[in-house]
């Protein structure tokens, strides 16, 4: 599948995997709809995407946790932008690393509202149009955390397990249509993820990546691009990717420690 001139909506596009994916698709000449909460960062990414070869770029300041805002944003798209070809549900986050019985309810709500409800809201607003037009591809960002729960991360892991179930259920519900559904499930990726999790504690965030080489946002973007550009009769259901130093959500090999251990993605 060629992406030149295709309309691609990316949520959480202001940084990390979302921004890297935007740049990757820009190089293919796609028309990019970039959505995120941080307007100033979106503008910077939009300019970089145009320089990288994007056919055109529109930005949408959007918090996916609000269903009303999601519906309004999709309904307000100009006619020439309304026929979305590819939806990349990338918006997501983790908060805290606490035992479940001591966790912050505010953190739980933010993760569930973004990672699960936000995913559902955007999907519900975009996919009916794909079905009506007889074409489209939805890419959902999962995690190794959805494959295996790790200590002190029960709620985040639960949101990613929900993503896996939603992804697989959506693919079943779309059977009989040409619309494709893919889950991209990365392990440890060095982005703003850990800084967000620890609310800007850079020292604690940096320790997550000590002693090993994590994935980069560009690595994940490359996997997304590969899945989307397969022939239109091919659906990539799941892609699980980790750094070589990671076996799963629990096992890491850190050179400085000489043993399998570490903080979780």
Q: Which domains does the chain have, with CATH numbers?
A: 7-260 (3.40.50.720)
Whole-prediction pTM: 0.93
The 10s digit of each residue's pLDDT in 77-98 is 999 999 999 999 999 999 999 9
Tokens of 198: 């620890």
The answer, yes or no, to whether residue 257 has pLDDT greater than 80, is no
Quick one: residue 8, left, alpha or beta (phi over 0 = left, psi -120 to 50 = alpha)?
A: beta
Here the tokens at position 157 are 């892991």
Quote the CA–CA distance of 205 and 195 in Å, as a whole number: 5
Q: What local confidence, expressed as pLDDT, does residue 259 receive?
A: 46
Secondary element (H or E) of residue 191: none
What's CA 111's distance to the chain center, in Å? 13
Which helix or strand (DSSP H or E) is residue 57 part of? strand 56-61
| Residues 208/211/217/219 CA torsion (nearest 10 deg) | -140
Look at residue 171 and tell me whether its pLDDT is greater than 80. Answer: yes
Q: Which residues are annotated as catalytic?
A: 156
Q: How far is CA 175 from CA 47, 126, 171, 181, in A?
A: 38, 17, 6, 10
pLDDT exceeds cutoff 80 at 102? yes
């Amino acid at each position: 599948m060629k992406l030149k001139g295709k309309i691609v909506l990316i949520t959480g596009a202001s940084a990390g995997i979302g921004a890297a994916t935007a740049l990757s698709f820009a190089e293919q000449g796609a028309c990019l709809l970039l959505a995120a909460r941080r307007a100033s960062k979106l503008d910077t990414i939009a300019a970089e995407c145009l320089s990288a070869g994007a056919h055109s770029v529109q930005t949408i300041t959007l918090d996916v946790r609000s269903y009303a805002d999601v519906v309004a944003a999709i309904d307000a798209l100009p006619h020439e932008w309304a026929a979305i070809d590819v939806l990349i549900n990338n918006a997501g986050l983790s908060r805290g690393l606490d035992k479940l019985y001591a966790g912050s309810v505010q953190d739980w709500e933010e993760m569930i509202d973004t990672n699960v409800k936000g995913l559902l809201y955007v999907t519900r607003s975009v996919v009916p149009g794909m079905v009506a037009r007889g074409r489209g591809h939805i890419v959902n960002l999962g995690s190794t955390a959805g494959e295996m729960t790790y200590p002190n991360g029960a709620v985040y892991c639960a949101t990613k397990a929900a993503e896996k179930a939603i992804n697989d259920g959506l693919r079943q519900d779309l059977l009989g249509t040409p619309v494709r559904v893919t889950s991209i499930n990365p392990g440890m990726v060095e982005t703003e993820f850990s800084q967000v999790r620890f609310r800007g504690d850079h020292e604690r965030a940096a320790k997550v990546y000590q002693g090993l080489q994590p994935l980069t946002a560009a690595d994940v973007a490359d996997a997304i691009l590969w899945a989307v550009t397969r022939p239109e009769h091919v659906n990539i259901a799941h892609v699980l990717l980790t750094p070589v130093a990671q076996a799963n959500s629990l096992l890491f090999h850190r050179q400085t420690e000489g043993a399998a251990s570490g903080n979780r993605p």
